[in-house]
């Protein structure tokens, strides 16, 4: 997949929040900036709109590029067609549902530092630097509750592959309300 590099300070931020009703950039095209952030141009293929700074999911596909070109909302019908442990990243803006007149094509950040919307835990130890989170299947489009990384050697170990890693502890611990978290996106 072709990659473009954003050289200007701050990158092409306005372009990363623009929406299209048709493919204007090339599905799957990747942009990179000087801070190591990676962005991918995608189509929201679900019947639910994507939430700005929330989570969107990949659907495994029989074609190599199919999994990275289309994304799905974590709630509604997407829960049956996508897998919550395969997050595609964070939508840069609210991307309309498939076929939306406001635009269902847009940019998703999949790598690098970011502020995301996440469902907090009542346990502060689950949302400190180094804890991880994957997608969720709840309404609202946020990231799932954080968990410490553990390796269980008796069952072969558990390896974290895609999702977010907390870069700072959450200041708020109110599970009923989504909050903003400073994280490292690892959804490549």
State how beta strands 70-72 and 38-44 pair: parallel
152: pLDDT confidence band, cut at 50, 70 and 90?
A: low
Task: Report pTM.
Answer: 0.84
> Both ends of the chain: CA-CA distance in Å?
13
Would you say 61 and 67 are in contact if contact means Cβ atoms under 8 Å apart? yes
pLDDT above 90 as % of the chain: 27
What is the distance between the alpha carbons of residues 26 and 33, in angstroms, rounded to a whole number?
18
118 - beta bridge partners? Answer: 143, 179
Q: For the segment 113-145, what is each residue's pLDDT rounded down to a tens digit?
A: 999 988 888 888 888 888 888 877 766 778 888
More confident residue, 92 or 160: 92
């Amino acid at each position: 997949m072709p990659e473009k590099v954003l050289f200007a300070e701050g990158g092409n931020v306005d372009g990363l929040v623009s929406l299209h009703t048709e493919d204007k950039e090339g599905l799957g095209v990747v942009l990179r900036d000087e801070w190591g952030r990676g962005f991918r141009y995608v189509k929201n293929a679900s019947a639910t709109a994507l939430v700005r700074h929330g989570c969107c999911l990949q659907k495994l596909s029989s074609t190599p590029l199919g999994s990275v070109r289309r994304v799905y909302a974590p709630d509604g019908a997407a829960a049956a067609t996508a897998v919550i442990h395969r997050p595609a990243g964070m939508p840069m803006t609210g991307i309309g549902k498939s076929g939306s007149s406001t635009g269902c094509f847009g940019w998703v950040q999949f790598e690098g530092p970011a502020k995301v919307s996440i469902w907090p835990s009542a346990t502060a130890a689950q949302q400190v630097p180094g804890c991880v989170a994957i997608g969720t299947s709840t309404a609202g489009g946020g990231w799932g509750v954080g968990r410490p990384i553990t390796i269980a050697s008796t069952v072969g170990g558990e390896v974290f592959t895609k999702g977010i890693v907390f870069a700072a502890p959450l200041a708020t611990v109110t599970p009923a309300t989504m909050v903003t978290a400073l994280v490292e996106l690892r959804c490549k």
